[in-house]
Homo-oligomer: A and B are copies of this chain.
Amino acid sequence: MSTDLDAHSSTHRLEAFSDGVFAIAITLLIIEIGVPHVDGDVTLAREIRDLWPSYFAYALSFFTIGIYWANHHSFTQMFKRTDHGFLMVNVIFLMAIAFLPFPTAVLGEYLKEGGQRQDAVTFYAFGLLLPAAGWLLVWLYARAKDLMVEGLDPGYLRFTTLQYVMSSVIYVLAALISLVAPWVALAGCTGLTFLYALPPRRPVFVDQRT
């Protein structure tokens, strides 16, 4: 019993720490938008409007991290215990989440500039790939070490693995597409985020099969 309690407390603590990193990373995004400097003929209103790529990048990354937060809870509910290695792969996943403000700032700064747009979008797609791959890593580790709760349907497990693999593959594709068509790649990343905003499929247990 004390082991169960430890396991629970360990999962709980991991979730609290992850929620903390989600909340901080999401709120730090705004820091990357600098106050515009007005000089000469351009009005402040125009300078503020001209920052639209930064607002777009802010909103997209905010929504992305928000979705990770919303899904992380049902995700961690699938694990009945943790071990030290599991905490470490979770730290790697959080490292990818906390990195996102940087590609977001790069996208906001260079999306409007023709010469740098393509590099900025590629880097942003890469920035989205990192947490997707980190999430997959956490999942694969948990499956390999058998940390899951009992009774999850094998078909559901296979479906979920496939889903997480596909998510990483799609961001690799988005990064590749950005090399020739940055706007298309960015539209793809945006659409994917809205797709992820749909409710995740709930865990299916063996005895729930029809």
Contacts and interface: CB of A to CB of B under 8 A. Distances in A.
Interface in A1-34: 10, 13, 16-17, 19-33
Contacts of A102: 30, 33, 35
Nearest to A198: B84
Given A30-B99, A35-B102, A67-B91, 18 more contacts: A10-B73, A13-B73, A16-B19, A17-B23, A17-B69, A20-B24, A24-B27, A28-B28, A28-B30, A38-B110, A45-B123, A48-B106, A48-B119, A48-B123, A58-B99, A63-B95, A66-B94, A84-B199
Interface string A51-69: 0000000110011001101
Nearest to A85: B199
A119 B59 contact: no
Count the copies.
Answer: 4
A123 B73 CA distance: 36
A163 to B, nearest CB: 16
A94 B27 CA distance: 9
A45 B88 contact: no
A187 interface: no
A15 B149 CA distance: 27
Interface in A187-210: 197-200
B31 A28 contact: yes
Contact of A62 (B29, B85, B98): B98
